[in-house]
Amino acid sequence: MIKTIATAPIDGQKPGTSGLRKKVPVFQAPHYVANFVQSIFDSLEGFKGETLVVGGDGRYFNREAIQIVLRMAAANGFGRIVVGQGGILSTPAASNLIRALKAFGGIVLSASHNPGGPDGDFGIKYNIGNGGPAPEKITDAVFARTKTIDRYLTLDTPDLDLDAVGTTSLGGATVEIVDPVTAYAALMEKLFDFAAIRTLFASGFTMRFDAMSAVTGPYATEILERRLGAAPGTVLNGTPLPDFGGHHPDPNLVHAKHLLDLAFSKDAPDLCAASDGDGDRNLVIGRGQFVTPSDSLALLAANAHLAPGYARGIAGIARSMPTSGAADRVAEKLGVTCYETPTGWKFFGNLLDAGLATICGEESAGTGSDHVREKDGLWAVLLWLNILAARRESVRDIVRQHWATYGRNYYSRHDYEEVASEGANAMMADLRKALPTLPGRRFGDLVVAAADDFAYHDPVDGSDSKAQGIRVLFEGGSRIVFRLSGTGTAGATVRIYIERFEPDPAKHDRDPQDALADLITIAGDISGLARHTGRTAPTVIT
């Protein structure tokens, strides 16, 4: 019954920050998915008879890819495969299922916030038994295997009905199709004070949550509207569509600008929020108050104790290196450590497993905690709701008070997308060469205190990750960071992160681009961005 198919190595692109991502037609090429999935299985040991969780964000090619994965997982010897109904599982819900079922691991089909559809992006990511993204040791082994693979194992069986909840057998394995929301919603009920949030909504609190026609629709509708009593219509674009309705499911200020406009309009609800394609990112905007993801991490950490799941306090905070230092100030006040990791959620896994950190976040709209091992968009929104229900103050007042207490970290990220790779690589190479010459250099009032290429030593497993981004640190705490994206599928994306700390509450009302203007100019000077890339203005500013 098990078929061994001869195949040849693929151009398996080193999995980036978050799994393998490429254009849909690449994944549709004969044997491509199979080769990559077999490369994953060939890099794992000891999964015979074990459980594998499988699901995706519902994007174009999700169902086809899942059928391939199911046959191969059974042929390779997994004993039980648990799949979200319709092939749907948000990334955090997949992480939760892996943990709850004590599965060996999981395969998540998603390209996150990248657009979907026949010409859009697709992606495959392997998560390990703790529910988190595979560490570099595994992704490196998978990459190496894609270059030598010569066969894969599958079955000669018809497609399974992914919409029928229940158990069937496939080769020597059982396949369980489960409701994708049930276990996740139960976890949220354990962490948050649903009664208090229900009372908040009953008192007239209004909200819009834009699921962006992506995976969080069913989760948000069940939790916000059904369990928490938010008014019908609170969830916008709540049905997952294969092409996300033609939109870009990235909850940033460009692709979710309508929410920003709504939040600043005279009909603004108390809270506007959104999540991305696979449900792990979040956008939070109060009436007349955008909350940057870096500030949100700090605010959630400072107020987490108001939610039952964190009432005992937090053990530590972790943030990715480019994320602003706002969380560091909260950690200091709480007397806990703030860990600084490379970009990508996989670096938080060990800290969470070891109980060193409870709350984690990235500037790219990712926040989460030790409840799963992925960032979690809806979780962040629910923690905000829990805090609002407990404090009964507006988002705007809470943010302002936070800045008054801790100071404000002005922060912005400038992205230059689809830049020619040669130029982007040359720019980074030149920056690396220039590092020793930077300390002591003066730019107007600003003096460079230190400059390095960020390296991370994992305090739990002792592994080292080098070349994770150029940091230019100025006297007084301002910072510029340069790195190349690991998730793009066309050319290179240059990310420049700019930060300045302002302790004076009288100066907390500036537009971030103005407050950061001198640093933005310096970033261009130091990097020779225009010379290397031909670009003079960013594609996206967040």
Interface with Co ion by CB under 5 A: which range of 60-68, 226-234, 277-285, 504-512?
Answer: 277-285
**Cβ closest to ligand VG1, residue 149 vs residue 215:** 215
**Cβ closest to ligand VG1, residue 155 vs residue 365:** 365
Given candidates 71, 281, 371, 479, which one binds ligand VG1 under the rule CB under 6 A? 281
**Cβ closest to ligand VG1, residue 287 vs residue 346:** 346
Contact residues for 505 (Cβ-Cβ < 8 A; gap 6+): 403, 404
Partner from ligand VG1, Co ion, none contacting 18, C-beta within 5 to 8 A by type = ligand VG1
Active site residue 112: yes
Give the footprint of Co ion on residues 5-34 (CB under 5 A).
none
Contact 65, 33 (CB under 8 A): yes
- In angstroms, how far apart are the furthest CA atoms of the chain? 73
CB of 493 vs ligand VG1, minimal distance in Å: 6
Strand 446-453 vs strand 470-474: parallel, antiparallel, or unpaired? antiparallel
Give 451's strand partners. Answer: 472
Contact 90, 113 (CB under 8 A): no
Active-site annotation holder among 110, 112, 369, 485: 112
In angstroms, the CA 196 to CA 209 distance is 19
CB of 281 vs Co ion, minimal distance in Å: 5
Inter-CA distances, 315 with 11, 96, 354, Å: 42, 21, 10
Contact 177, 83 (CB under 8 A): yes
Cα–chain center distance at 385: 20
Q: State yes or no: residue 121 binds Co ion (CB under 5 A).
A: no
Q: State yes or no: residue 276 binds Co ion (CB under 5 A).
A: yes
Q: State yes or no: residue 127 binds ligand VG1 (CB under 6 A).
A: no
Query: Which x/- pattern, by CB under 6 A, does the window 206-245 give for ligand VG1?
Result: ----------------------------------------
**Cβ closest to ligand VG1, residue 217 vs residue 366:** 366
Q: State yes or no: residue 127 binds Co ion (CB under 5 A).
A: no
Number of residues near ligand VG1 (by CB under 6 A): 19
Contact residues for 509 (Cβ-Cβ < 8 A; gap 6+): none
In angstroms, the CA 372 to CA 353 distance is 10
In angstroms, the CA 37 to CA 14 distance is 14
CB of 33 vs Co ion, minimal distance in Å: 20
Q: State yes or no: residue 280 binds Co ion (CB under 5 A).
A: yes
Torsion of CA 447, 449, 451, 456, to 10 degrees: -150
**Cβ closest to Co ion, residue 42 vs residue 276:** 276
Q: State yes or no: residue 364 binds ligand VG1 (CB under 6 A).
A: yes
Partner from Co ion, ligand VG1, none contacting 95, C-beta within 5 to 8 A by type = none
Query: What tokens does 204 get?
Result: 């007239």
Given candidates 10, 12, 15, 17, which one binds ligand VG1 under the rule CB under 6 A? 17
Q: State yes or no: residue 340 binds Co ion (CB under 5 A).
A: no
Given candidates 78, 192, 310, 345, which one binds ligand VG1 under the rule CB under 6 A? 345
Nearest to 191 by CA among 472, 417, 398, 379: 379
In angstroms, the CA 225 to CA 349 distance is 32
Query: Which x/- pattern, by CB under 6 A, does the window 80-119 give for ligand VG1?
Result: --------------------------------xx------
Q: State yes or no: residue 278 binds Co ion (CB under 5 A).
A: yes
H/E stretch holding 496: strand 492-502
In angstroms, the CA 373 to CA 480 distance is 29
Partner from Co ion, ligand VG1, none contacting 423, C-beta within 5 to 8 A by type = none
Q: Residue 46: exposed, middle, or buried by beta-carbon count in 10 A (0-12, 13-18, 19+)? A: exposed
In the complex, which residues of this chain contact ligand VG1 (CB under 6 A)? 16-18, 112-113, 276, 280-281, 320, 343-345, 362, 364, 366, 485-487, 495
In the complex, which residues of this chain contact Co ion (CB under 5 A)? 112, 276, 278, 280-281
Catalytic residues: 112
